[in-house]
Structure 1
């Protein structure tokens, strides 16, 4: 008596044999389709346009006919080198706000403690969190021209957040300022050009940079 596995093997062999016999006649059938290429949709994906020191000029591939928005981007690491948060900064150029910086932190961040930003251990400011989603929690900070000047001439920045349940153990994240001046100049150029409908061209191939939700 055949076992179940023997029956499956026999049926599979019979099917393959039938297909191999039918192949020559099937290949002559004009009704066969060879398929059509499927284009990968890269709209909404990020790509790195340039790198300046520890900063990336990162842009988002926009739909056809729209300008790719660009910002100055950096991953923020803790004292152990673990990637914890990120910041994306772009030029605004209004009378009160020179630039805008969006900080993304883990969902387990204590929102009431806010986010602290220092340059060279001084000039500290706190910024409130606006909202959270499945990716993380967000701070949208408006930077004055004086704030941007400090970042340009500073040696190192520091971002402080507080984890939920660990209020006595704030997390300190290094904000490297290496390459900030050149990177901000490029982003300013791109952001100003975007107002006139001009922007960078995305590369032919864009890697999928979709990130998992922050932990």
Structure 2
């Protein structure tokens, strides 16, 4: 039993500092149509005011690559999130999250902006636009907006599942832009791997196994 407790203490010391941050960290990668990336996001207890199942992302890291349109971006570091600005959605869009935001782009986009909300949906996103039924990704159709330097931002979102009106085979999209112009736009064709379990969850699972082992040893 003493040996089991020592192992448990070692697990906590090695993996739980800071425990709160570790409990809310997920990583994933995406790839397709000339773009790819490895992303680590962190989030706390705060959720979108309209959707309590959507957690507000508080930090981001990783790298991004884009070989389209002569960009030649190779493992560009992800420097941080573009802050949300609580823009007003179209009047007919009654399903947009409270954190719906816009990044205005002077040239090259259909509407003159990229929409984003920096929300993470562990259970899969519901429909979040009145005129767009597809949903289900761990990002919604607005997605994350992050900075890669030199005035460039990257928008990564989920197009949802194209199987009827709900979850199905999921696909993601990527846009790259500056405030002056759109540099790349990949709608669909980007695959994103499911987020890895948080280290806190792994610690809890490991401690559960240790506890089970201790009970077995005691009973035997």
Fold similarity call, TM over 0.5: no
- In proportion to residue count, which structure has more helix? 1
Q: Higher relative contact order at CA 8 Å, sep ≥6: structure 1 or structure 2?
A: 1
User: Higher Cα Rg: structure 1 or 2?
Assistant: 1
Which TM-score bucket, shorter chain as reference?
under 0.3
- In proportion to residue count, which structure has more strand? 2
Q: TM-score, normalised by structure 2?
A: 0.25
